[in-house]
A = this chain, B = another copy of it.
Amino acid sequence: MRQRTYLSPTLRDIPADAEIKSHQLMLRAGLIRQTASGIYSYLPLGKRVLKKVEEIIRKEMDATGAQEVLMPAIQPAELWEESGRLGAYGPELMRLQDRHERDFVLGATHEEVITSLVRDDIKSYKKLPVNVYQIQTKYRDERRPRFGVLRSREFIMKDAYSFDTSKEGLDESYKAMYEAYKRIFSKCGLDFRAVEADSGAIGGTDTHEFMVLSEIGEDTIAYSDASDFAANIEIAPVKAVSANHNEQRVLDVEKKETPNVKTIEEVTAFLNVDATQTIKSLLFMIDEEPVLILVRGDHEVNEIKISHLYPGAQSIELATIAQTNEYLGCEPGFIGPLQVKDITIIADHSVQTIVNGICGANDKDYHYINVNVERDVSELKYADIRFIQEGDPSPDGKGTIRFARGIEVGHVFKLGTKYSEALGASFLNEQGKAEPMIMGCYGIGVSRTVAAIVEQNHDENGIVWPKEVSPFDLHLISINMKDDTQSQLGEQLYSQLREMNYDVLYDDRPERAGVKFKDSDLFGLPIRIAIGKRAAEQIVEVKVRATGEMLEVKIDELESTIKQLIEK
């Protein structure tokens, strides 16, 4: 492609409203332009990258036997009523009416449409399993669109839906997608982790998020420094450390006056102890029932884990001051598990190991010291209810937990029968009996993946494309178009390199060398070939974008040099 009339406008300055690097660089290198808040147009360079990522996805999906379909963006609202999501989805779901005032939604996802399709056309176990996917535009009216195409309102997704006859079948479909996703993100040149995640309210049993490691990520990942373990901190399990009471002498409980000492910080300062020695007590209301939650003072309660202990619960909330007074006769800050009656008490495993600990005395301005819950609290359940922390042992027993931020680019999810039951997608089994199909769903944010690639692959001068997703393979530059030797050699190489099946962007603009080189670094194609003063000697300058390596290469050695550099 000749750059002179290529619609690839570059910006020298950082656009004011672009907070993160990928957004800045995608604007500056002319990959995207904003059409409205959270709504973008892809210019030719951006569209080329999008297509490369799509082709990587398509190839890997096809290799698993998944079948490509295309479903509409406009979906009848009735379908969403059938599944029960029309109300539940809230203002993120864009809605519209047609000329006959019939209600439609713009697809935020396609469970309803695909389930109704499969319901109508598959009746027998003989036609299963099936996994269908599409690469298609999705709509979510984000409250706060930002970060360019990383969180936008119209975006491209690959979504796949598997239909199986058994849980074992679903396990296989799930695993096939999981493995395909690993290959896809590896090919995209991403540093990512497959992370165990919360299955949310849907009650799936298994779910993984594919997280691209990045400081700007909105999720926190807990991962092991010595194994493959990685999980969203929302759900990362904590390995229970067994109590070792022999080390320390167990003392008798004492009540201490602690005036105005409420928080863990105040307690540790006042009593001159470590936070690990304290027991944090929080009263929760779970569907109107009080539940006293205990964690070690240096730990944080994880409400998602509590919700997993109460799978049917409609609401889980911290008790109000009034409620705390009502049930424990005391305000928060001085509450604790001793002498508590008729209230469920759940303690994190780590609380069991505290020897001679400190907790509130359910009496204003008083705490107990020398508390040992095993001895002092009669009815107590232990569970994993805290957030994992950096430095914790990895739950798989290998290594220590570290934290990283991640951008979610993919998600695999076992849906089970939620949609097939709601929409009546059943099949006749070998005995001729109807059963609901067992579903999985699998998403990749395609446009978001492009942004994540840029976020992970850039330097101070611009983008550094991994070769598999680079919009072009080579950037050929004639430094001085007015110099006939240079421009002629440019034309010659432009055709030769394309004949070798390279995608070539040819900078034939009547611009200064500085402008050309700056734009070239910004675009970030893997290899730059500059034709300059030594054109007459049939020598060009080759630069590797990623390493900055520079070579002077004779024309007749150019092909082998490029081949070597690209294969590296």
Contact = CB atoms under 8 A, between A and B. Distances in A.
A44 B132 contact: yes
A36 B104 contact: yes
A69 B7 contact: yes
A74 B130 contact: no
Contacts of A272: none
Contacts of A153: 74, 98
A121 interface: yes
A270 to B, nearest CB: 49
Interface string A18-40: 00000000000010010110011
A76 interface: yes
B74 A36 contact: yes
A128 B4 CA distance: 8
A41 B154 contact: no
A7 B42 contact: no
Nearest to A155: B72
A381 interface: no
Interface string A105-144: 0100000010011101110001111101010010101010
Contact of A47 (B69, B129, B130, B509): B69
B99 A141 contact: yes
Contact of A50 (B67, B70, B116, B137): B70
A185 B102 CA distance: 37
Tally of this chain's copies: 2
A130 B44 CA distance: 11
Interface string A50-73: 110000000000000101111111
Contact of A70 (B1, B47, B113): B47
Contact of A33 (B65, B95, B121): B121
B73 A7 contact: no
B33 A139 contact: no
A36 B76 contact: yes
A44 B68 contact: yes
A72 B35 CA distance: 8
Contact of A126 (B4, B65, B75): B4
Contacts of A74: 36, 39, 139, 153-154
Contact of A36 (B75, B92, B99, B510): B75
Nearest to A68: B47
A91 B143 CA distance: 29
Contacts of A117: 33, 35, 41, 43
A113 B5 contact: no
Nearest to A121: B9
B137 A73 contact: yes
A253 to B, nearest CB: 55
A8 to B, nearest CB: 9
Q: Which of A1, A7, A44, A127 has the most CB of B within 10 A?
A: A7
Interface in A178-215: none
A99 B90 CA distance: 10
A310 to B, nearest CB: 32
A1 to B, nearest CB: 8
A47 B68 CA distance: 7
A546 interface: no
A321 to B, nearest CB: 35
Given A39-B72, A41-B70, 9 more contacts: A5-B129, A7-B122, A33-B117, A40-B72, A41-B69, A42-B70, A43-B117, A74-B154, A126-B509
14 contacts: A4-B127, A5-B129, A7-B121, A7-B127, A35-B113, A36-B75, A36-B102, A40-B72, A42-B71, A43-B117, A43-B121, A73-B73, A74-B153, A94-B98
